[in-house]
Structures are given as C-alpha cells and as structure tokens.
C-alpha cells in the first residue's frame, strides 16, 4: 500500500470526522414508551433535548410509572441515536477497511 495514499485517506477521514462531529449536534432521535404516552428526544451527543408526557399520566399515584416510562423512552432514543451514528460512521470510514468492531472516539 502506498504511504502517501494512506496519509491522504487519513487526512480525508479526519476532515470527514470533523464534519460528523458538528453534525452530531444537529442529529435528533425521539424514543417513546407506554404506547407514546412518554417521549424523550436526545441530541446526537446524547444530551436530553426534550421530554413530553401525556397529561393522563400526571397523577401523583402514577409517579413511579411515569419515571419508568421516561427511562424506557430514553433507552429507545439512545438506541436510535446509536444506530444513526453507526450509519454515519460507516459513511465516513467505508473506504478505509477498518476492522469490525473498531470504534473511533468522539
């Protein structure tokens, strides 16, 4: 393999990774639970961007159920963000032939 070609690919990947980093902040995923009674929206960086709770759940005696539904909706949103990130990462690293399971820090 040509060293200059490898260096060029590395530089291109570095540029694509920088673009991806900035795009992560714009990425959003909403997870739901309880048949849509609770919705949690996360940014691509995993920050909680919003929570919606159906008013029918806002009774003091249902507090524990609402808490569990928020956790479940968060997990759903996190799974969706991770899938979007994996797809973007595949686009960025597609031509480099990185080994399976290789994770780049971001």
Domains and CATH numbers, the chain: 28-92 (3.30.1310.10)
- Please give the residue that has the higher pLDDT: either 39 or 19: 39
pLDDT of 55 over the 80 cut: yes
Helix (H), strand (E) at residue 21: helix 3-26
Interatomic CA distance for residues 74 and 89, integer angstroms: 22
pLDDT value at residue 32 = 92
Provide mean pLDDT across the span 29-42.
Answer: 91
pTM: 0.57
pLDDT of 103 over the 70 cut: no
Interatomic CA distance for residues 24 and 22, integer angstroms: 5
pLDDT value at residue 36 = 92
pLDDT of 76 over the 60 cut: yes
Q: Which residues contact 37 (CB under 8 A, 6 or more apart)?
A: 53, 54, 56, 57, 69
Highest mean pLDDT among 24-28, 90-94, 97-101: 24-28
């Amino acid at each position: 393999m040509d060293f200059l070609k490898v260096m060029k690919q590395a530089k291109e990947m570095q540029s694509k990774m920088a673009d991806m980093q900035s795009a992560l902040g714009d990425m959003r995923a909403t997870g739901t639970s309880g048949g849509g009674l609770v919705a949690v929206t996360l940014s691509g960086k995993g920050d909680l961007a919003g929570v919606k709770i159906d008013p029918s759940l806002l009774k003091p005696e249902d507090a524990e159920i609402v808490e569990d539904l928020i956790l479940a909706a968060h997990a759903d949103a996190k799974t969706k963000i991770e899938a979007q990130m994996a797809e973007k990462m595949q686009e960025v690293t597609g031509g480099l032939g990185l080994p399976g399971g290789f994770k780049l820090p971001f």
